[in-house]
Each structure stands twice: as structure tokens, then as C-alpha cells.
Amino acid sequence: SFQPDHILRVTAQDYTEACNTRYSVLVNGSSPGPELRLREGKVNWIRVYNDMKDENTTIHWHGLTAFTAPFSDGAPAASQWPISAGHFFDYEVKPEVGTAGTYFYHSHVGFQAVTAKGSLIVDSVNDLPYSYDEERTIMLSDFFNETDKTIIDGLTSSDFTWSGETNALLVNGKSRQATNSTGSCQLASISIEPGLTYRLRFIGATALSFISLAIESHNVSIIEADGHYTKSVHTSFLQIGSGQRYSVLLTAKSEDELEKAGKRHFYIQLTTLARPETLTNLAVLQYSGGTGANLTTVPSPPPLPVAKIAEGWLDYELESLSPIYEFPTLDEVTRRIIIEVHQNVSDHVIWLQNGYEWVESFPKSPYLVDIYTGKLNTEETYQRAISRGNGFDNITRTFPAQIGEVLEIVWQNEGTFTNGGLDVHPFHAHGRHFYDIGGGDGKYNATANEERLKSSRPILRDTSMLYRYRNETDPLAPSGWRAWRIKVTDAGVWMYHCHSLQHMIMGMQTVFIFGDRNEVIAQSAPVGVGYLTYGGSAYGNST
């Protein structure tokens, strides 16, 4: 009989982080949940049980291409009915060969991903382009005092209430929250040995925070971004938006160097960027031998780096290492889709993409299910979108595309129709990764940008930053663009959204439909009848 390779159980319960207890959604009883290690090219069946009493859930495999099984992408309203309380769903997860790297999984329902998540590492079947002795995973997340429910109610009600800013930054689930110095919570400690080379896998699993971080007295070299190896870039700091991942190589100090430094622990220093309030945290890089750092004290003042947002950080600089390189040039682009991002303050505060907000309850059944059942006609949807000129079909509220097209997708940061609301957004694409072809101030200019690309090898990523470029005289003036290029190869329904959980809840999400119905069905293993109804599973003997 059918046996899943991994089992994850989602619960909701009181949970203590950063010296605070909060009602939180957890995977296997902790946050972060267990680290999953998958092998590229291998099919893994992952069964997710929803052990909550009255909430839906799903799990999304953030950054994995999911093209062999679009129904397993874990996006409610797009790729599957959410898993109802007391039910399970079997996910078919097959990391594509050539995409070994750093990922994470998280719930895609409401605000659950603030705690319901864990790291997902894809191990390579081939030799690695970089060598190292050991590796460590460093997951960054946010702690909010308010519960998921209070935050969602506030963000979606007509007397809009902001979630509040992040109350604590967490490193591997740990923090000594500045406002509470009495609890027993500790700083995260990453233990290393002198003289070895480490691969540090940083995962931006924050709800809201855009983080700058540096390691005291250690520089690092970036070797991976979002599951793809890059040419090595030496740096003294990293900037990580929600949804982004970087691997870096760190050469540990020798015994001699440690002696000279007069200590065996160094601080990893984090600070938030581009928010009205700046929040900081520390973690410890602890060398073995001698006594460890006191993890309940924060040195005062903490040795924090001067962290200022670096707009355009690594744009045109971070280059692909892949020997197989199929970057489509501007001549090959068949269609450009410009998505203007606005904030609208009317009844409540919402984020719009080309004038539309995403409403989780619209449509009633998931797009992919509607394609299977024939309720959504992919051909008509495509024709309507093309005839409207901007690629958006206002009936289904989707961006349809045909297999073989080469799309250029441009995000324009347009601020607000009234006032306020110009923000930094980490935009994320489900499905296949896009070539990140840059970003800048003002409006996108294709010819000028192509000139800049001539001397570089754009990387594939799944999350990149739409910045808010500073305009000193008019800080809220529309500013900034981010552009992607993508070959449409994988039939399925793919969400494209800002990865800030608050912004998602406020409407900043959209859906791309790749391929027609036959192609969608052909792409996926046959799904069981259970998949087509709420409370069912694609496989297995779901009740």
C-alpha cells in the first residue's frame, strides 16, 4: 500500500519564542519545523496532516519548480483546495535535477507561515562546484505578539488595523527580545570548528522583515542564490528579503587567529531595513573549545553593522555559474507584461496589481481544479487577456500564457492613489524560476537595460526585490522597477506575489496560467477524484 516518504503534522497551540507565548501554527510541534532533506531528481511523497480543529492549511515548497506535479504546489485557491481540519493531503515533490540548493517549506494559508515552516535542502546527485567541510542552516523569521487571527482581522477589516511592526527577529527560532530581558530565551548559537570551511545557508523566512546582516570579523563569499549556484561574490554583509535564500562560504579562523582575537565567539548581527522602526538581533558564531558565549546577555551597545538599505544590491553583479545557460535575449521576448503595484486606501487599505486585488475567496474553487473539471476554459481566458492588451483577464483575474512564449514581466512600484504606501516588496514566483534581469529607479527601459545585461549573466531566482528608491524631495513619489524574463515551459497554475505576509493578505497576489487544459493535464500525474473536492486528497485513501 501507499507509503509517504515524509510526514508533516500541522497543529495550532500555545508556543513560546523570544520569551513570549503566543497561539501559533506549528509543523511537527515546533517553529521552525523539521529540516527536510530531499535528493534532486527523486520523487518524494510528503503527507501533510492538518491536526488543527477549525483552520485550513496547505504546505508550499518554496522555490521548488513543482512542474512535474502542479497539484502539489500548495497554493490554496490556485493549485489545490486547502486541507480542511482533520484531513491530509499527499504532496508529490520532485526537485528538478540541477536545482540542488537551499529552500524552505511553509503554510500558504493566511498568516500561518509566520511560524508554520521549516528549511528544505535539496542535495545534489553531482559533484558540487564549490567545496566545503560542513554546513549550517540559518533561518531568519519574525515574531509578532499578536495572533494570526488578530492580524488578519485587522488587515482585512474596514477600520484597518496594521499588524504592528515585527516584535522580535528570530534566528533559527531564537531571540532575546529587547523588551523582555527577564525570560530564559536565548540567542541562537551556531557552533563551528577552527580551520574548517562552512557553507552557511541563510533562509529569509520572515513575514515582513527585510534584513541586513553581517558577521563580526568574518567576510563571506556568496555561492548560491535561491537554489542556483552563482559565481563567487565576496561580501561583508548580506541583504535578505522574505522568500530569498543565499548560501555563503565562511572560512573559520585558525587557532592562531582566534588567539590573536582573544575570543572564541563572534556576533552575527541583524537589522531590519526600510521599516518605520528598526529592529535588531544577534546570534553567536561559537568556536569550539573554551567557554561559550553567554547567550542570555546582549552586549551593550550591540556591535551592529551600519546597515542602510542598498537599493539594487547585487543587481547585474550576481552571475550564474550554470554551464548550461539558456538566457533568452530581448529579441526572443514575445510579450511584455507590465504590472503596476499600487496601494489603495478607500474602505480599507489594499494592495492592487493592475487595479485588482487578490481576494482569497475568489474564485470559490481553485484554478487548477477548475481547469481539470473544465469549468475554467483556458482558451477563452487566453483570448480575452490578449484582447485587453495588458495580458490580464479580468473575468478569471489571471495572466494566461501559452507554452513557448517568452515573457518579460515588469513590476512597477507606483505607490498609492492617495498618500503613503510606497514600500519595498520581495516578489516571488511559483513554478519555474525567472531570469532576474535587474531593477532600477523610475520606469523600465528595455533597450537601456539590455545594454547593461550584455556584460553579465543574469541568474535564475524565485524571489527578487522591488525597491523603493529614495527621492529626498518627495519620499512617496512613485519609484522603482524590477524585471524578469521567463520561458513558458511548464503547464500549470502559478502564483506570483509579494512575499510579505501582510501584503499578501492585503491583496498583493496574482496568478499565471501556463498552457491549455490538455497541456495542464498532460503535465501532471493523474489526480484522484479526492483532489477535485474540498476535504479530499490527490492520492491515498483520504476520507
Residues that bind ligand C2O (CB under 6 A): 60, 62, 75, 106, 108, 243, 428, 430, 495, 497, 499
Q: Which is nearer to ligand C2O, 106 or 228 (CB)?
A: 106
Q: Give the span between the Cα atoms of 113 and 25, in whole angstroms.
A: 8
Q: How far is the CB of 399 from ligand C2O (least distance, A)?
A: 15
Closest CB to ligand C2O: residue number:
62
8 Å CB contact between 281 and 270: yes
Q: How far is the CB of 494 from ligand C2O (least distance, A)?
A: 9
Look at residue 62 and give the partner it binds from ligand C2O, Cu ion, none, a contact being a CB closer than 5 to 8 Å depending on partner kind.
Answer: ligand C2O
3-state secondary structure at position 21: strand
Q: How far is the CB of 150 from ligand C2O (least distance, A)?
A: 22
* Residue 345 identity (one-letter amino acid): V
3-state secondary structure at position 445: coil
8 Å CB contact between 174 and 141: no
* Residue 118 identity (one-letter amino acid): G
Look at residue 245 and give the partner it binds from Cu ion, ligand C2O, none, a contact being a CB closer than 5 to 8 Å depending on partner kind.
Answer: none
Look at residue 495 and give the partner it binds from Cu ion, ligand C2O, none, a contact being a CB closer than 5 to 8 Å depending on partner kind.
Answer: ligand C2O
The number of residues that bind Cu ion (CB under 5 A) is 4
Q: Give the span between the Cα atoms of 344 and 289, in whole angstroms.
A: 56
Look at residue 432 and give the partner it binds from Cu ion, ligand C2O, none, a contact being a CB closer than 5 to 8 Å depending on partner kind.
Answer: none
Q: Which is nearer to ligand C2O, 432 or 499 (CB)?
A: 499
Q: How far is the CB of 500 from Cu ion (least distance, A)?
A: 4
Look at residue 503 and give the partner it binds from Cu ion, ligand C2O, none, a contact being a CB closer than 5 to 8 Å depending on partner kind.
Answer: Cu ion
* Residue 183 identity (one-letter amino acid): G
Q: Which is nearer to ligand C2O, 22 or 60 (CB)?
A: 60
DSSP single-letter state for residue 330: G
What DSSP assignment string belongs to 189-251?
EEEE-TT-EEEEEEEE--SS-EEEEEETTB-EEEEEETTEEEEEEEES-EEE-TT-EEEEEEE
What mask, x for binding Cu ion by CB under 5 A, covers residues 414 to 433? -----------x--------
Main-chain phi, psi angles of 9, to 5 degrees: -120, 125
209 lines the binding site for Cu ion (CB under 5 A): no
Q: Which is nearer to Cu ion, 155 or 185 (CB)?
A: 155
500 lines the binding site for Cu ion (CB under 5 A): yes
Q: How far is the CB of 211 from Cu ion (least distance, A)?
A: 15
3-state secondary structure at position 426: strand
Q: How far is the CB of 105 from ligand C2O (least distance, A)?
A: 9
Q: How far is the CB of 424 from Cu ion (least distance, A)?
A: 7
Cis peptide before 34 (omega within 30 of 0): no
Main-chain phi, psi angles of 347, to 5 degrees: -70, -55
CA angle in degrees (0–180, nearest 5) for 203-209-215: 55
Q: Which residues bind Cu ion (CB under 5 A)?
A: 425, 498, 500, 503
